[in-house]
Amino acid sequence: MSKLCEGRVVIVTGAARGIGREYALQLAAHGAKVVVNDLGVSRDGIGQDLSAAQAVVDEIRAAGGEAIANGDDVSDWEGARHMIESTVAHYGDLHALVNNAGILRDRMMVNMEEGEWDAVIRVHLKGTFAPSHHAAVHWRAKQKATGEPVDARIINTSSSSGLYGNVGQSNYGAAKAGVAAMTIIGARELKRYGVTVNAISPHAQTRMTEGLRERTPEEIEARHPRWIAPVVVWLASRESSDVTGRVFEVGGGFLSAMEGWHRGPEAEPIDDATRIGPVLQDLARRARRNADMKGKDLD
């Protein structure tokens, strides 16, 4: 098997279980030196235990790969900085950052508490931005010092809850929509340094999705992380340098490049609230319907 990431140093956050674990294992199988970051928290973000991350490291090393465990909190500014700087200090470089860490605290909007909103936004949105910021600072300094593009990657994690909208997940959906927007903006800002920024919207059967609804054995197989990890491995490789600013929907029987907001039906501007109503109603009728969680037009 050809090794797409031979010698590349890759951080995977939230890598102790589920999709992140599969990313770490497949990246290592393709020659990457992997930093397995995970706080070891519960599904709703409680507690801390590095043993789960170390177990993934042990599995990688047993297979002949290179890996170290990291327990920094990616949603903490200094924790994210330490994760990036300690990786560079240990391995001498950083080539890809996979932002995968996340928690769920699902609740209907009328019942959601402030702490449930803040926790999810902090882990998913700030926990994507903070490591990306510190990695970008490192890559910018390296590019300026050498005068050569760094050929680096940021791979974010969005979700159908953010791209399509899902009842009971206003916190999680808002964060994941923000990640998709951050991906597009980051791709434009970091292109000058040789950094690509992409995201995936994964459909997977993991600890975070268990119990959300019953699934058939066929659906569970289609949502196995092994269908998702190859996309991350390729995006982390040198081969993906011409792909940036994209969100890919992966898993659950899907492999698709998402298409974002575009301007729909138009009308002449009106500066009178008493006359604008019928025009807005007409625009709403003519606009394409929002998508359901399967990416199809709502009925």
- Domains of the chain (ranges, CATH numbers): 9-258 (3.40.50.720), 265-298 (no CATH)
Our CA dihedral for 127, 146, 28, 75, rounded to 10 degrees, sits at: -10
Q: For residue 201, what pLDDT is reported?
A: 97
| Side chain identity, residue 78 | E
Residue 131's closest CA among 4, 5, 6, 10? 10
* Separation of alpha carbons 23 and 202, rounded Å: 12
Residues 6+ apart with CB under 8 A from 247: 158, 163, 180, 183, 198, 199, 200, 201, 257, 258, 260
172 is catalytic: yes
Report pLDDT for 250. Answer: 97
- Whether the Cβ atoms of residue 73 and residue 83 lie closer than 8 Å to each other: no
Note the pLDDT of residue 149: 96
- Active-site residue, from 23, 91, 164, 172: 172
Max Cα distance, the chain (Å): 72
pLDDT along the chain (299 residues), means of 10: 92 97 98 96 68 97 98 98 98 98 96 97 98 98 97 97 95 98 98 98 71 68 90 98 98 94 96 98 95 79
CA angle 154, 156, 160 (to 5 degrees): 155
pLDDT at 7: 96
Residue-level pLDDT at 66 = 98
Axis crossing angle, helix 127-146 with helix 170-190, rounded to the nearest 10 = 10
Residue 76 phi, psi dihedral angles, 5° rounding: -100, 130
